A and B are shown apart, each in its own frame.
Chain A
Amino acid sequence: MTTYFKNIYTALYTLFVGMKITFKHLFVPSVTIQYPEVKLPMADRIRNRLYVNMDDCIGCDQCARACPVSCISIETVKSMPTEDLGKTSQGKKKALWVTKFDIDIAKCCFCQLCVFPCPTECIYMTDAYEFSEFERSGLNYSFVTLNADEIAEKKSNFAKMEAEKAAAKAAPKPPKAEEPASKPAGDA
């Protein structure tokens, strides 16, 4: 008989304890984050999408060589001696036109190995993580700042220079002894 009344008492008591707890939680601020509008701040060293600051890039190709999955492809063209490419933010002189700097982020394994060798610290991980695409080709990011015409121009400039150098090399060969004679030809 005592257990009977004890049961009733426990049932009612625990019921009100439970109801008190749930009622309190009715007014506890929710932990839900309204995702697309509100985003949690990412950690400082988070590794997400790569970014290349082309103003600082000297086209040294070290990142592409460090990449274990070969997702970075770089092509460079030497500049004319007369051209001034400016300096990086750290004061290093740039000597190469970067005509191609593609990162296929679909291949990227987010190992950050490309970031450390960069001498100018121009390639780094950002906190952008929403970059889904409908086509896989959309994930191939191009960072080159030159447009197609400029690239073609730089390439032809370089080709011309090469051709001239080659011509200069080839031209003086028959008159090997006469050095001063070859010079005007090389300059022209």
Chain B
Amino acid sequence: MIYDFLLQLTGNAAISSLINSIIPLTFIIPFALFAVYLERKVSAHMQDRLGPMRVGWHGWLQSFADILKLLQKEDIVTADADKKLFNFAPVLVFAGSYAAFAAIPFSSAYIGTNLDLGLLYIVAVTSLVVAGILMAGWGSNNKYSLLGAVRSAAQIVSYEIPTTLVIVTVIVMTGTLNLHKLSTDQTSSFYNWLIFGGYAAGWHKFALIPSMFVGFLVIFISTLAEVNRTPFDIPEAESELVAGYHTEYSGMKFAMFFLAEYANMFAVSAIVATIFFGGFQSPFGYLGNTLGISWLRPIEEFFWFASKGIFFVFVQMWLRWTLPRLRVDQLMAMCWKYLIPIAVVNLIIVALIMVL
């Protein structure tokens, strides 16, 4: 664990905790820059365009140029805005999505805090984002912002139910809420991943596979809705609400919302990967083990974790450029009439299999 190493190095719990808490940020910011570039390239190529091509080789410096532009922009606060809420909202939104990274294991050597209630903590703390979004919408004193914020709140609150139900399904199966333990238990071969029935032996494993696929689909769809991505992007629907709750923001505050959105995308992808796809575990075994180099293994684990996370982020982008936006009633029907009943039935089936 990096925390123990830091503690040994500095001899001070406060300093090592501080450094430990900054480590995910050093991953999220480069990831956000990369994801913005990836998003533009993926969207462009899916529409037979080229995307950014001018800034650097094939436009790879485009996101740096964007960030530079955002840094230089004027910070506009509208006259009738509720200044306190308006200024605090982006911080809270980013804090909410960043807090989720505390319990996500990046590799066997790094996890912010090895919480026993990791999954519950993540479900709880990401709800802060709703508060931040509502504050942004209300503080902007703009009807489009408010509409976007209210839609977002309704959507996130609704879609947390199927997410949590699937997480409960996983808890029923594994008996742990600790994401680090969940990852280490899905030992380093892909057939031990929970999507393939987990590490249980015997007929249980095969009986669980269909339920796990259903659970994966449900949690993927509902987390997609939780991070307000297309086809569930009605809170920031450009054609209806200008930009939703961040319409009135400019410069770095807007960049904070953007960063929070991409951090959130990675957070939910990482959670899905950790729950169903073995987290940081390699699907084939480790080069470090084969060569007998012990320090290589955590790096490989981090590589696999990042690859899985980025793959699911790619799938989210892929869906974004495939599907049109849902109507509000369709959105609610999808959650309450389809995802929740399916998740409940799935939970019951998994519980029965585990009891038998």
Contact = CB atoms under 8 A, between A and B. Distances in A.
Contact of A32 (B50, B217, B338): B50
Nearest to A7: B338
Interface residues of B, number: 17
Interface string A1-20: 00000011000100100110
Given A22-B318, A22-B321, A30 B338 contact: no
A34 interface: yes
A25 B318 contact: no
Pairs of residues from A and B, 6 with the lowest C-beta to C-beta distance, nearest first: A32-B50, A18-B322, A22-B322, A30-B50, A22-B46, A26-B45
Interface string B190-204: 000000000000000
Interface of B: 42, 44-50, 53, 217, 318-319, 321-323, 338, 342
B152 to A, nearest CB: 23
Given A8-B338, A26-B42, A21 B49 contact: no
Contact of A21 (B44, B319, B322): B322
A34 B50 CA distance: 9
Nearest to B44: A30
A30 to B, nearest CB: 5
Contact of A30 (B45, B217, B318, B342): B45
A27 B46 CA distance: 8
Nearest to A34: B53
Contacts of A32: 48-50
Given A8-B338, A34-B53, A28 B319 contact: no
Contacts of A26: 42, 45-46
B323 A18 contact: yes
Contacts of A131: none
Nearest to B324: A18
Contacts of B44: 30
A28 B338 CA distance: 35
20 contacts: A7-B338, A12-B217, A15-B322, A15-B323, A18-B322, A18-B323, A19-B319, A21-B322, A22-B46, A22-B321, A22-B322, A25-B45, A25-B47, A25-B48, A26-B42, A27-B45, A28-B48, A30-B49, A31-B49, A32-B49
Contacts of A29: 48
A21 B48 CA distance: 12
A22 B318 CA distance: 7
Given A8-B338, A22-B322, A25-B45, 15 more contacts: A8-B342, A12-B217, A18-B322, A18-B323, A22-B318, A22-B321, A26-B42, A26-B45, A29-B48, A30-B44, A30-B45, A30-B49, A31-B49, A34-B50, A34-B53
Contacts of A23: 318
Contacts of B321: 22
Interface residues of A, number: 18
B318 A19 contact: yes
Contacts of B47: 25
Contacts of B49: 30-32
Contacts of B50: 30, 32, 34
B318 A31 contact: no
A27 to B, nearest CB: 8
Contacts of A28: 48
Interface string A103-130: 0000000000000000000000000000
Chain B CB count within 10 A is highest, among A7, A8, A22, for A22
Contacts of A27: 45
Contacts of B319: 19
Contact of B48 (A12, A15, A30, A34): A30
Contacts of B323: 15, 18
A170 B48 CA distance: 82
Given A19-B318, A19-B319, A25 B338 contact: no
Nearest to A23: B318
Nearest to B41: A26
A8 B48 CA distance: 30
A53 B338 CA distance: 76
Chain B CB count within 10 A is highest, among A8, A28, A30, A31, for A30
B338 A19 contact: no
B46 A25 contact: yes
Interface in A122-151: none
A29 B338 CA distance: 39
A21 to B, nearest CB: 7
A19 B42 CA distance: 13
Contacts of A25: 45-48
Nearest to A18: B322
Nearest to B319: A19
A36 to B, nearest CB: 10
A9 to B, nearest CB: 12
Nearest to A17: B322
Nearest to A28: B48
B322 to A, nearest CB: 4
B338 to A, nearest CB: 7
